[in-house]
Structure 1
Amino acid sequence: MNAVKMNVPFFKASIGSEEEKAVIDVMRSGWLTTGSQALAFEKEFSEKVHSPFALCVNSNTSGMILAMEALGVNRENAVITTPYTFVSTAASARHLGADVFFADIEKDSYSIDPNSIEKILKSPDGKKVKAIVPVHIAGNVCNMNAIMNLAEKYNVKVIEDCAHSFPSKTQSGYAGTIGDAGIFSFYATKTMTTAEGGMVTVKDSAVAKRITQMRLHGMDRTTWDRYTSPKASWEYDIIAPGYKANLPDILAALGRVQLKRAEEFDRKRKIHAAYYNSNLKKLDFIKLPPDSEGNAWHLYLMRLDLSKLKCSRDDFARELQQMGVGISMHFIPLFNFSYWKNLYHGFTPENFPNAQQHYLETITLPLWPDMTEEMCAYVVDCIKTIGEKYHG
């Protein structure tokens, strides 16, 4: 164990002088809300992931609600997703009045299990399903071939939750471009950031138009168009009671620079993940995280083999924190929360054994581009020290 204690943050965004200049330029331009920077950001992101349409929004959650609404999710139907996700995935459907059916994750990964999805689709409740919402947890892309086959077989939409998965890429294309829609997050801790924000990718022009209108109060003209075109700014129509979900130019400008650096960030994350893998695989009480095709390595999900340790996951995690290692938990399955337990009877850990087991065994380690090898080594040393203390 290293003699000198370090403090290794769970995450620190990589922000440099180019990002600072881009934001200041917007501040000095006199146009702060959604405008030319947001339009340019959409074009550049669309080109990057090869999506016909990319629409920036103020959060992944807003994007999820907009995409679901545009694809017909409403109080008359339901979506299928995983309980092993952040609450916004399922809450977005509830905001639209839809029911949520949950499928367990795979035994050896954090991804939703296609077999569990099909059990729901084959059940009487399956007739109510409008969309499947797979979540690409930690940057690992779900089994999209199987999921897309199910979508075709049962005539349902696929809305990819890509909060963790930029720039994950498979033989079928970038995550977020395989299904009917993909929703990305640019929250502060993500693989690239706009501080707060997100992007929706879609293939259908009618869906793109609906999202464009609904993200700004249901107006048939954008603010940029209203104040830069010859047509009078006050001449517009409201086509539906929309939302307030647009991304301001200040944040879009930050995102444009981060997008240029995305490959750099991706390369550095993979170096750190490889360091963890090569060192942690030597420890018999560690289960390495899955590493699927095109993994973006947004998170490093370390699983403990508790049969070899005389402690709980929480005991292990607290000791890491006491040693200065910033950690997190991804995720607390939704069946642990009061709202979901009270809403759906039978939504219990016993009915989702894989999700519950993964949760009880998993600790999320620091993984960010500007980490040093010394930081990674310190994290590994701390894990070894705690493991030796509690080894059975």
Structure 2
Amino acid sequence: MIPYGRQSIDQQDIDAVVSVLKSDWLTQGPLVPKFESAIADTCQANYAVATNSATSALHLAYLALGLSQGDLLWTTPITYVATSNAALYCHAHVEFVDIEPETGLMCPNTLEKKLAVANQQGRLPKIITVVHLAGQSCDMERIHKICQPYQIAIVEDASHAIGASYQDKPVGACTYSDICVFSFHPVKIMTTAEGGMALTNQKELADFMSYLRSHGVTRDPELFTEESHGDWYYQQLALGYNYRMTDIQAALGISQSQKLREFIARRNVLAERYQSAFENTPVIPLAQQQGTNAYHLYIVRLPNHAKQRKVIFSVLREAGIGVNIHYIPVHLQPYYQHLGFRKGTLPNAERFYQEIMSLPLFPALDEADQDYIIEQLVRLL
């Protein structure tokens, strides 16, 4: 089976992890801040806070921005459930903004209209979380301009997009957002096995997320509410969580980050091969906007074959091609249906879901295997 995604691990990565296993530090040691600095430098951000997952990073980001009971967070329905679940952890309410059918990204026009209505009703969101689906940045300047009059915080769920760029700056620079979150799950661009990171340019947000990820405890004298009792002293400033990344994960992350540019280049080569092969066929790749796409996923639309997608999916799987679907709209999940969300309320997202399929894409994908994928899909259609 050719998987839709797969980690790329080499001897350098293995040696980096083994060296930590032989060291004095396994959990939160010197490599975690080193990894944070490496990613912050790569993304041109001031601060980075490593966590044990991107979901944890999202939760910390929402808490740092003050999301709490009764507040509203808006996001896209075309994402993994973690994006909105993390808001529910804060006892906030979630609403969804429909997408652009051509890109699968949050639609700025729909957002602008929805915010105008919400303002009249006194139901503005505290946070808007955009999702850089498949590795392509949303139109962040436009979204920031729309949100600015309402003083709404913006979070970028860039779980798919480390290594991508927007307006010649790396995704993660937080030029138009308060916090940007990355995922280092094995099928993502680079991996720490499990892991995540929140980037920001605001020190107070970074400080809050840093001690909240470790039970709300800090040893930083600058944050103490009273004079230190001695070198052993620490204070719990909030009810926090155990969301820490280990040095083992950080070692793998540092090694992987050194190959990030190579990973992105290879993903773009493979994406361009798909793009060329699907010209003049019923396969429609997602429309590309400005900037570099990280191509975590290669999603195509099959609008003329939506009713046959289940059969197409099964035949390709039987042929050894690990196609997948990204994503089932969050508002259609049973849990969200119990919260009151209903089918038919987000037509673009629902139509998009019916048409899409993710094809295998990862750096080690052999071009002969890619040609086989293309041949089988086009022949079948």
Question: Per-residue deviation at 1:152?
Answer: 0.8
Q: Residues of 1 paired with 2:20 and 2:53: CA distance?
A: 20
Give the letter aligned to residue 334 of structure 2: S
The aligned residue for residue 335 of structure 2 is 339
Summarize the Cα distance change of 1:264–1:55 in structure 2 as closer, same or farther, 3 Å threshold: same
Q: Which residue of 155, 159, 166 corresponds with 1:163?
A: 159
What whole-Å deviation, never above 9, does each CA across 1:311-370 have from its counterpart, x for those lacking one?
5211111111010001111000012211111112xx333121110111001010000001
Q: Relative to 1, partners in 2 of residues 1:375 and 1:168: Cα closer, same or farther, differing over 3 Å?
A: same
By how many angstroms is 1:174 displaced? 2.0
1:10 aligns with 2:10: no
Change in CA separation of 1:172 and 1:341 when aligned onto 2, cut-off 3 Å: farther
Inter-partner Cα distance in structure 1 for 2:95 and 2:6: 35
Runs (4+) of structure 1 exceeding 6 A deviation are none
Contact kept in structure 2, 1:80 and 1:129, CA below 8 Å: yes
SS in 2 for 1:123: helix
Tell me the equivalent position of 1:187: 185
Q: Which of residues 324, 334, 353 is equivalent to 1:328? A: 324
Rounded to whole Å, the distance in 1 between the matches of 2:137 and 2:126 is: 21
Which of 18, 25, 35 is the equivalent residue of 2:29?
A: 35
Equivalent in 353, 370, 373 of residue 376 of structure 1: 370
Aligned length: 368
> What is aligned with 1:218?
216
Among 129, 150, 157, which residue is 1:154 paired with? 150
Over the aligned positions, Cα root-mean-square deviation in angstroms equals 1.6
Compute the displacement of 1:384 (Å). 1.8
- Whether the 8 Å CA contact 2:73–2:87 is kept in 1: the answer is yes
Displacement of 1:126 in angstroms is 5.3
| 1:358 partner amino acid | F
Deviation string, structure 1 residues 125-183 (Cα, Å, up to 9, x no partner): 55441111000000111111111002211111000000001111111622232300000
Compute the displacement of 1:13 (Å). Answer: 1.1
- Match of 1:108? 102
SS at match of 1:350: coil
**Whole-Å separation in 1 of the counterparts to 2:240 and 2:13:** 32
Q: Is the 8 A contact 1:76 1:128 kept in 2?
A: no
Classify 1:172/1:94 alpha carbon distance in 2 versus 1 (closer, same or farther; 3 Å).
farther
Deviation at 1:303, TM superposition (A): 0.8
Aligned to 1:312: 308
Query: Counterpart of 2:235 in 1: which secondary structure?
Result: coil
Q: Alpha-carbon deviation of 1:116?
A: 1.9
Structure 2: segments with no counterpart, 5+ residues:
221-229
CA drift at 1:302: 1.2
Query: Does the aligned pair in 1 maintain the 2:103–2:288 contact within 8 Å?
Result: no
CA positional deviation for 1:262: 0.3
Identity %: 33
TM-score, reference length from structure 1 = 0.91
